[in-house]
Amino acid sequence: MKYISYALFNDCKTYEWNYYLRGLYFNVRMNRLIYPNWRTHISVHIDVWNKYSEYIQELQKLVTFDVSIIDEPIERCKAMLWRLDVLYTKPHVDAVICRDLDAITTYRESLAVNSWINSGRIAHGINDNPAHSIALMGGMCGFTRGLLNIVTVSEWMDIKAAANLRSHGSDQDLLMTVIYPRVKDSIVITKNPIQVRDNHLWLSDLVCSFIGSAGVNEMELIRFLNNNDESNKNFIKFEEQFSDLMYWRK
């Protein structure tokens, strides 16, 4: 089984937080279309679960995804690494890609990921913007189970426990200082992947300016789902139920 892994925890302002909650909604739907043979996993902090469990559970009635509830103090960059924990905690994992909820899945991204999977290499990094200057971006990296032969379960847990993950970007610092040197001979770094218009899914590429972008054209995204998700009508009641987030239903 291959996983797309996210972390959901609240340490931001209200207008940003609402976007992450919508990102959960959009991504589980987009993943079903664009990564049909992958499974979505969300690591949710217990405080978020206690407040938004109805939202998450109602969404699970419409689209399949896994949830793990994390009960530990929030350190932002430590929480970022919950995404990679899937490789160490889920049985029979073939690969995991770590993604941000405020970045929406696109077809162009999936082509890059599939090319990496077919390469047989252990690690993957995507650079699709001049600001992407390192091989392993926290929300744009992926690993196969081959990483388990390089960094064991116990070693990974020890590394996380010992690391100082309080400062911004410290999760990426850990990936680059601890993981990258061990996988640098078995990594695919995809830079500015090309757009391929071989089926209707390429239209998903129009929702953002680059892979990993936190700036998404939500109306373009809604249009894509309306036109390309055959089950779109099943989500209307959900959007109406949570119209405080799904503002287009007010």
Q: Residue 27: name the closest of 2, 57, 59 by CA.
A: 59
**Do the beta carbons of residue 90 and residue 3 sit within 8 Å?**
yes
Distance CA 199, CA 160 (A): 42
> How many C-alpha atoms does 72 have within 13 Å on its Cβ side?
9
What value does the mean pLDDT take over residues 143-168?
A: 92
Per DSSP, the three-state class of 99 is: strand
Q: What is the pLDDT of residue 245?
A: 93
Q: What is the pLDDT of residues 42-68, one digit of tens each?
A: 999 999 999 999 999 999 999 999 999
Q: How far is 66 from 83, CA to CA, in rounded Å? A: 12
Q: Is 96 exposed, middle or buried (0-12, 13-18, 19+ CB in 10 A)?
A: buried
- Overall residue count recorded for the chain in this entry: 250
Answer whether residue 13 shows pLDDT above 80.
Answer: no
**Which is nearest to 227 in space by CA: 29, 89, 52, 69?**
29
pLDDT at 15: 73
CA-CA distance, 174 to 203, in Å (whole number)?
35
CA distance between the termini of the chain: 39
- pLDDT tens digits for range 188-234: 999 999 999 999 999 999 999 999 998 789 999 999 999 999 999 99
Q: How far apart are CA 113 and CA 3, in angstroms?
A: 12
pLDDT digits (tens, 9 = 90+) for 90-147: 989 999 999 999 999 999 999 999 999 999 999 999 999 988 989 999 999 999 999 9
How far is residue 175's CA from residue 86's CA, in Å, rounded to a whole number?
15
Cβ distance 4 to 97 under 8 Å?
Answer: yes
DSSP structural state of residue 114 = H
| The amino acid at 168 | H
Q: Supply angle C-alpha 231, 205, 93, rounded to 5.
A: 70
Other residues' Cβ atoms within 10 Å of the Cβ of residue 245: 17
Prediction pTM value:
0.95
The answer to whether the beta carbons of residues 43 and 8 sit under 8 Å apart is yes
Each residue of 172-189: pLDDT tens digit?
999 999 999 999 999 999
- Locate 99 and state its tokens: 């993604």
